[in-house]
Structure 1
């Protein structure tokens, strides 16, 4: 199933608890701090559901035969990987790459975990079932996911378990036959205001004694006890689209999410209090590569926009022919071409992980370092 814009916007009216400036926010789809960004995200869904775009933006799932967005595709060949990348580029271009954590980012992470299911089976077959079942559920319901994978900033000389409040960082407070109960905070929930569900885990290294924080699960953002604490809204302070064309429409927002004794059923738990597996879910599966491959695709789109903007500014001011301006524009174009070349290289040098074809991690991580410096 794929959704259209109206269905997506309706899904956000779910009585979730979002706080802004110390006050509870009602409907994010109409609130002045979020409404334009929600409308921008909704364009993803009208674009994918347009019959003229569906062949490029969707694929038929092998298990159900229904159509789903290509963000959930698990490529088995170089050709399928490139086809998926072209669809992502097209989708991301709707906002010039300025919605950094669009629907494709965390979807790529979960898809990478599904491609590395053998790692989860070795850890716990029941957790492997939870991963695959959730992947199929999110794919088939066209969900928009965010994630919180970083611990709140505190005394950095101490481990999570050594902080003054043992539940400053989200951790397991209890578990029973129905699931785990989680208490504490995580960050950064980029695009949390736009998402349907949140993936909660820890990508940072944990130390012995931190086991209760070594968890991995997904939960709806309107679940009982889930509270989103939004940072200041740029959109709210950029009321004019003409003067602030980006901040007024593409402020995906960031937030801390506090889990106030949130009950998570076992079928949504991927890792339970296992430090080693918390790292392996990212690095022993294609998850970390696949999610950052999506990030590099987005950055390439964003850089093309910025290069074009620089050229347009030069043209408008009549300075395009100045030697020093031509030199700068040439350097920008070369840097943009290098990012495109790195993307192509990580695809060409890709390899099989089981039956799936994934980008080359060495080229990806080289691009990850260089493109941050370029941007």
Structure 2
């Protein structure tokens, strides 16, 4: 129409661009062989497509404003890169992260917003890196701008290979020098690292990897104390993949979750990998490995994202539990209603704590942070709660999960299909749909894929004593004790004797 303004071109990452970006010659090993293209290999292609679906979701015109924000120059990136400067910013960001989690029902544990949240938190506390070394702080700023502006999918490896746990990481003994990634050389162009790191969840479909140590290091382990970032296809980065559940998924009908959401986990071995100085953020400083995560908002933001995702996953599981009760006809049994009510309260508890983290948040300099203690309290609760919820759903389903057809192929045989229709009976759906729902349930609570998720939710934030120590460290003990102190400070033993004498 004459006089109308020209349509503005908006640049935002989509699924096709992400899938193309992982076709970079990265070294992934599975079953003794090198995988040449993870986007096409049957062990990974659906998970890669699921990552692509996240970017397609954010780039859809109807979702663009909610899911992304403008960084200038006509470029928009996901809100996981947003550095909130107010409570409203934090809420807006959380809503976008929750929408993304709903795309995978919370089963992509290390979706692109997880490590991006951690790195964004580190950026909010960049002065901590500057105090360590201004050059290293500058390097992080430059790298952060690069990965944010390109809306990259990041992963990280911040855990050391366990080895002999009775010994320190740097004291594993002769022959184990390369067990943990360490600095083996340093020159004018950068450092060289050799050794292994855990756990590279989602590394097979990520763009870059952040490498450091989130576990305590001691004096004398300075060769282990560094942080850096590298493209996944960097020469010398070797990913040793665990078993692929996607590869063993019989069909989408039989294994609907593992078929598409097996994000994979890998051990990464750095085989004399050269890291240029512009990619080195911490150098030979054991305390800085701690400080970069805990003295900045990095640890808070990465775990805040994890609780947002988990709240979505719990909502999915609770909805599944009610679906089972409807399917097998127990929905009106009072004991079942009682169980469903408790499950609903457990899911709502985590979601409520996420809202509480935001309402109880505070400014740190120019940025708004969720409440630390409510975050760590939620982690303590969710680590204990997740196994209980899984067990409860299995109890609700009972033997229904064990009397399912062997695979979707059974429906192709008319005789078998007839027997299935006679035995898979539901008051609310067809036998085929009953089988579909119960197979989804099994993939969520009982399959090998489900077992991996159980282990992941119990330990991704560390052992329970670790999360409990964070809760202990961040609780306002002085405020909690003040009421008792106020009472006991109001009287003395002598006062009590006087009052007792008066009463006599």
Output the TM-score relative to the length of structure 1: 0.98
- 1:192 CA displacement: 0.8
Deviations 1:303-330 (A, max 9, x none): 0000000011111111110011000000
SS of residue paired to 2:204: helix
The match for 1:146 among 143, 149, 155 is 155
The match for 1:76 among 78, 81, 85 is 85
* Runs of 4+ more than 2 Å apart: 63-66
Task: Name the residue aligned to 1:172.
Answer: 183
Q: Distance in 2 between matches of 1:3 and 1:68?
A: 7
- 1:68 CA displacement: 1.4
The yes-or-no answer on 1:35 pairing with 2:45 is yes
- 1:64 CA displacement: 5.6
Is the 8 Å Cα contact of residues 230 and 253 (structure 1) preserved in structure 2? yes
The yes-or-no answer on 1:103 pairing with 2:112 is yes
Q: Distance in 1 between matches of 2:351 and 2:43?
A: 35
Task: Name the residue aligned to 1:16.
Answer: 26
Q: Distance in 2 between matches of 1:67 and 1:234?
A: 34
The match for 1:294 among 296, 305, 309 is 305
The yes-or-no answer on 1:368 pairing with 2:379 is yes
Deviations 1:102-125 (A, max 9, x none): 000000010000000111111111
Q: Distance in 1 between matches of 2:26 and 2:367?
A: 37
Deviations 1:236-294 (A, max 9, x none): 11131111111111110000000010000111111011001000001000000000000
- 1:370 CA displacement: 0.3
Is the 8 Å Cα contact of residues 48 and 54 (structure 1) preserved in structure 2? yes
Deviations 1:51-76 (A, max 9, x none): 11110011122x76632110100000
Deviations 1:207-243 (A, max 9, x none): 1111111111100110011100000101111131111
Question: Which runs of 5 or more structure 1 residues have no equivalent in the other structure?
Answer: none
Q: Which has the higher helix share?
A: 2
Is the 8 Å Cα contact of residues 25 and 233 (structure 2) preserved in structure 1? yes
Is the 8 Å Cα contact of residues 159 and 210 (structure 1) preserved in structure 2? no
SS of residue paired to 1:100: coil
Q: Distance in 2 between matches of 1:292 and 1:346?
A: 11
SS of residue paired to 1:248: helix
Task: Name the residue aligned to 2:354.
Answer: 343
SS of residue paired to 1:175: strand
Q: Where in structure 2 are the equivalents of 1:191-206 lying within 5 Å?
A: 191-206=202-217
Q: Provide closer, same or farther for how the CA distance between residues 362 and 272 of structure 1 changes in structure 2, counting only shifts above 3 A.
A: same
Q: Where in structure 2 are the equivalents of 1:209-288 lying within 5 Å?
A: 209-288=220-299
Question: Which runs of 5 or more structure 2 residues have no equivalent in the other structure?
Answer: 1-10, 387-504
Is the 8 Å Cα contact of residues 43 and 245 (structure 2) preserved in structure 1? yes
Higher relative contact order structure (alpha carbons within 8 Å, sequence separation ≥ 6): 1
SS of residue paired to 1:158: coil
The yes-or-no answer on 1:318 pairing with 2:336 is no
Q: Distance in 1 between matches of 2:317 and 2:85?
A: 33
RMSD: 1.0
Q: Distance in 1 between matches of 2:347 and 2:51?
A: 25
- 1:194 CA displacement: 1.1
Q: Distance in 2 between matches of 1:264 and 1:64?
A: 31
Is the 8 Å Cα contact of residues 271 and 278 (structure 1) preserved in structure 2? yes
Aligned length: 374
Output the TM-score relative to the length of structure 2: 0.73
Deviations 1:29-69 (A, max 9, x none): 111111111111110011111111110011122x7663211
Q: Distance in 2 between matches of 1:170 and 1:242?
A: 41
Is the 8 Å Cα contact of residues 160 and 166 (structure 1) preserved in structure 2? no
- 1:17 CA displacement: 0.5
